[in-house]
């Protein structure tokens, strides 16, 4: 199978896109599910299928529990934040998401069952930065965290909540963007 | 895998799939599931894990983002 690094198009069905947007808006509104990590952060896994150099999104798996503040992840994330994060409104100790390994296992089990593969992860940016008002590209920290993952990083800009944007970058590298084609359900 | 320790299994895994090591900044964050149950996270704790021949072992590399 062709490596995800060779992908040149990503098909995103509109229903899946709406799921991502709804996840982000729900977290921003403070409407949490039982047992869900609180905070204005939406992080999840995107699964789908691959046909040569084309990916098609098929499943959105919103991250429920963030284990970023639990060891052994906390030590790694704190160190990475100290070294690479640009200070923002959100304190470093509250930034970053590590998906509970139980959720990751469930995701891969689902993919095996349904003949899908993990395409990447998504997370949202909500705070405009000076010189980067839209925030629809990976930060340096995003790139560091996605390094050598072999996955796409989907960046969701909800800075303007009425006009959400999604872009995809292989391993969170700005120069490795792949176009996303939104597909309506009738197409 | 009967009779093999996890360390031996992992040595075999690294030798067969050397690329795996490049995606692991920190093996302390590697989780091991045995028969779909999370046993432990962190390779330094693997000495205490015993396995039987029919056990299904899954290794989960952490997924993290900003």
State ipTM.
0.81
Identity of the residue in A95, A105, A149 whose CB atom sits nearest the CB atom of B23: A149
Secondary element (H or E) of residue A30 = none
Least confident segment among A7-16, A83-92, B23-32: B23-32
In the predicted structure, residue B23 carries a pLDDT above the cut 60: no
| Mean pLDDT, residues A90-108 taken together | 91
- Percent of chain A at pLDDT > 90 equals 80
The secondary structure of residue A175, as a DSSP letter, is G
Per-residue pLDDT band at B4 (split at 50, 70, 90):
low
pLDDT in tens, A124-147: 999 888 889 999 999 999 999 998
Of all residues in chain B, the one with the smallest CA distance to A147 is B23
> Looking at per-residue confidence, does A79 or A10 come out higher?
A10
Of all residues in chain B, the one with the smallest CA distance to A77 is B64
Identity of the residue in A72, A99, A138 whose CB atom sits nearest the CB atom of B28: A72
CA torsion through residues A97, A100, A104, A106, sign: negative
Across the interface, whether the CB atoms of B66 and A142 are under 8 A apart is answered yes
CA torsion through residues A84, A135, A107, A177, sign: negative
| Interface contacts A/B by beta carbons within 8 Å | 71
CATH architecture assigned to A4-183:
3-Layer(aba) Sandwich (3.40)
CA atoms within 13 A on the CB side of A95: 23
Burial class (CB in 10 A: 0-12, 13-18, 19+), B30: buried
Of all residues in chain B, the one with the smallest CA distance to A96 is B66
Q: What is the pLDDT of residue B43?
A: 67
pLDDT in tens, A59-83: 999 999 999 999 888 988 999 999 9
Among residues A169, A172, A130, A162, the alpha carbon closest in space to that of A28 is found at A162
Per-residue pLDDT band at B24 (split at 50, 70, 90):
low
| Mean pLDDT, residues A42-59 taken together | 97
**Domain locations in chain A as residue ranges:** 4-183
Across the interface, whether the CB atoms of B65 and A76 are under 8 A apart is answered no
Across the interface, whether the CB atoms of A96 and B65 are under 8 A apart is answered yes
Q: What is the pLDDT of residue B57?
A: 83
In the predicted structure, residue A119 carries a pLDDT above the cut 60: yes
Residues of A in contact with B23 (CB under 8 A): 148-150
> What are residue B64's DSSP bridge partners?
A98
| Mean pLDDT, residues A28-48 taken together | 95
Across the interface, whether the CB atoms of A153 and B63 are under 8 A apart is answered no
Cα–Cα distance for residue pair B40/B27, rounded to 1 Å: 12
């Amino acid at each position: 199978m062709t490596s995800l690094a060779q992908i040149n198009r990503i098909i995103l069905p509109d229903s899946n896109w709406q799921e991502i947007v709804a996840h982000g808006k729900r977290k921003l509104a403070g409407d949490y599910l039982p047992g869900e990590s609180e905070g204005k952060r939406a992080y999840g896994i995107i699964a789908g299928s691959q046909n040569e150099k084309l990916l098609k999104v098929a499943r959105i798996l919103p991250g429920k529990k963030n284990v970023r503040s639990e060891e052994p992840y906390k030590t790694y994330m704190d160190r990475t934040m100290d070294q690479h994060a640009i200070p923002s409104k959100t304190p470093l100790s509250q930034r970053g998401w590590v998906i509970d390994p139980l959720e990751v296992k469930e995701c891969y089990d689902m993919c095996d069952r349904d003949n899908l593969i993990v395409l990447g992860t998504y997370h949202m940016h909500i705070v405009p930065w000076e010189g980067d008002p839209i925030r629809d590209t990976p930060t340096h920290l995003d790139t560091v965290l996605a390094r050598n993952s072999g996955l796409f990083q989907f960046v969701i800009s909800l800075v303007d909540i009425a006009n959400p944007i999604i872009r995809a970058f292989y391993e969170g590298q700005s120069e490795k963007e792949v176009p996303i084609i939104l597909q309506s359900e009738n197409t | 895998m009967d009779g093999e320790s996890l360390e031996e299994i992992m040595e075999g895994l690294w030798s067969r799939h050397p690329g795996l090591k490049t995606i692991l900044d920190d093996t302390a964050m590697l989780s091991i599931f045995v028969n779909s149950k999370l046993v432990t996270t962190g390779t330094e704790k693997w000495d205490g894990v015993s396995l039987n021949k029919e056990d299904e072992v899954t290794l989960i590399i952490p997924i993290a983002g900003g």
